[in-house]
Structure 1
């Protein structure tokens, strides 16, 4: 993603740096990654990258619309590069696994509130909570043992 990453960064009006490109590459490999996950991946490739440079890049990318930040309750902030639509997420209550769910119905923002209270709604964030297949299977095994 080096060339594509540099182009995306440049296209967002940001300066291209090795650290920023490494952050985008990490997010491509680790969808729904925490900042610490991204930092570990970046340091594995670029040992001199600081935690602060990764955090700064993530913040810059969110501000520029290159990256989406999601904040499931009780979990660290997560970052993803899927920003071209208004999708939702499934989160496992046990292991924290996250999966994308396409929009429920209609066009973005997918759902309209019964009363918007004068707000101009442009995004709907929905998180479905439950158990991922692995945790559900483990849970079933524990109940039958």
Structure 2
């Protein structure tokens, strides 16, 4: 029976990447901490394998290029990374605390949105960011009133 570690190792091999302890650790962290920034990934991985922040940045770049991770860049936030790739989902960001959650495609099949004009481009993906206030911040605001 496959385990998450063997699945991750196989995914790395399939993507043409060498299986290393650092790459496996980063994939594991991203599976448990979606939407983490590189600093947060580094601190989680540093407790598992010897590494540096530069090594984590390099690994995140390699995983993103290979399609094993996705980089998102909400306005006003450092780049975030997640394992959920290839399904054209979107994100909702809390304006108060910066929490991020996934939002499945808004309507229909990818690219979900049909612009009035594409200026000749062949559209392959739409990236939408919703902004709001998360349930925890709403509760805090309600408790303060």
Write the distance in 1 (CA, Å) between the matches of 2:64 and 2:17: 12
- Is residue 2:33 matched to residue 1:30? yes
SS in 1 for 2:47: helix
Alpha-carbon offset, residue 138 of structure 1: 1.1
In structure 2, what is the equivalent of residue 18 of structure 1? Answer: 21
TM-score (norm 2): 0.95
Write the distance in 2 (CA, Å) between the matches of 1:37 and 1:17: 20
- Is residue 2:135 matched to residue 1:133? yes
SS in 2 for 1:45: coil
- Is residue 2:40 matched to residue 1:40? no
Write the distance in 2 (CA, Å) between the matches of 1:53 and 1:3: 22
Question: Which stretches in structure 1 are left out of the alignment for 5+ residues?
Answer: none
Aligned pairs, number: 142
Alpha-carbon offset, residue 45 of structure 1: 0.9
Write the distance in 2 (CA, Å) between the matches of 1:110 and 1:21: 32
TM-score (norm 1): 0.95
Deviations 1:9-63 (A, max 9, x none): 11111111110110100100101110111111100111x2111111111001111
Write the distance in 2 (CA, Å) between the matches of 1:30 and 1:38: 8
Write the distance in 2 (CA, Å) between the matches of 1:9 and 1:49: 19
In structure 2, what is the equivalent of residue 67 of structure 1? Answer: 69
Deviations 1:96-115 (A, max 9, x none): 11110000111111111110
Write the distance in 2 (CA, Å) between the matches of 1:17 and 1:45: 13
Give the RMSD, CA atoms, in angstroms.
Answer: 0.9
SS in 1 for 2:126: coil
Runs of 4+ that moved beyond 6 A? none
